[in-house]
Amino acid sequence: MLTIYDSAARAKREFTPIRPGHVGIYVCGMTVYDRCHIGHARVLVVFDMVVRYLKERGFDVNYVRNITDIDDKIIARAAENAESIESLTDRFIKLMRRDAEALGCLPPTSQPRATENVDEMIAMIETLIERGNAYRADNGDVYFDVSTFERYGSLSGRDPDDLRAGARVAVDEAKDDPLDFVLWKHAKPGEPQWEAPFGPGRPGWHIECSAMSTDALGTTFDIHGGGHDLMFPHHENEIAQSECATGCHFVNYWMHNGFVRVDDEKMSKSLGNFFTIEEVTQRYHPEVVRLFILSSHYRSPLNYSDQNLDAAQASLSRWYSALKKVPANAEPIPEVMDAFHEAMDDDFNTPKAIALIHEQLSLVHKIGEQDKEAAAPHAASINAMGAILNLGQLDPDAFLHWSAEGDREDTFDDAEINQLIAQRAEARAARNFEESDRIRDLLLDNGITLEDGAQGTTWRRQ
């Protein structure tokens, strides 16, 4: 039985899809005005893991992750760069997809762009105006009237009266209530705009996801995901406008991944602890980043630090070293796979699932040198569990021989390393242990660790 922690219910609930055997999942995607950062990496990897495991459990998954390609930040960045909005957003969409692929993420079933779905947004806003849930203000903007939705604040557990007491209204806004939020921004000179019955302009951010999710998945769908920071106000606003426009319950399960912190501090450009996926994966293999993310439960805070990434690097090196020594040419152990599925069925408990993998790794290392046949089922179990999480599926040498971008000009290439290992073997055969040790230390000084075994010497980059 698969259970999912539903943020709206604040409890784990047995997962029952609307259509048996089918799952519709919508995840709030990126606003494409800059490179994706490690916070985005967590969203990408977490929901890729969720989709992969749903597929493992036999579900046909329709995974929708939107792209916001028009908003204030995009307009400002394009003007700053003196380039067109289309050029800016196309460039960062390509880079976003490259980052996601590097992290081992499957492409979503569909990736709707906001600018390609403005007609659906206009239609939803028209419906909200007709039903008395939205109004056109004196400044030409269209706002959602929060007072018309009784359950406002139910997802985040916030009291509308308390929110009003602390709300700030910008001087150029003409809304009736501090909590009302913009659905349509009136046209301003030099900005992109679309014609609409309520005046030319462009959509607000919140209406994008309501229009695109219901268009792709229907008025009620199974799972809506995103970062914890989106719970309020974005997801709260989505619920209000969607349910008022359709008259239907919007989402059955809300999933939110936890915040990413850097050395136990909030990630912020002003603090100088802001890292893009590109920057991190130049220093660490992308699969190390994936393991690091999945080693914490998706709802827990994730602390980014060199120490934690170094630990993930060491774990994966041990993982690939084991699989290189012992081929996974046996059937996985049923009891191990049952325990893995039990962990994942419990709200996608990847830390527990990965702990099971480490237990099997210990057994492979313990018995593999003496009896590869006895160790093979354990290696097969590691491989099977890793395949579900998309970990440990690379060629072992491809991972073990990988080097960080900054180290690539300062160390030996693969051919030079293999030549030095051959020279060391000759020195050992001649009992010239001084030369053998010299070569080993030379390689170690250049970040190359040697491992001697019954099948010869293997190496990996530190």
Residue ranges for the known binding site for ATP are: 269
Binding positions for Zn(2+): 28, 209, 234, 238
Q: One-letter amino acid identity for 418?
A: N
CA angle 48, 49, 54 (to 5 degrees): 100
Binding positions: 28, 209, 234, 238, 269
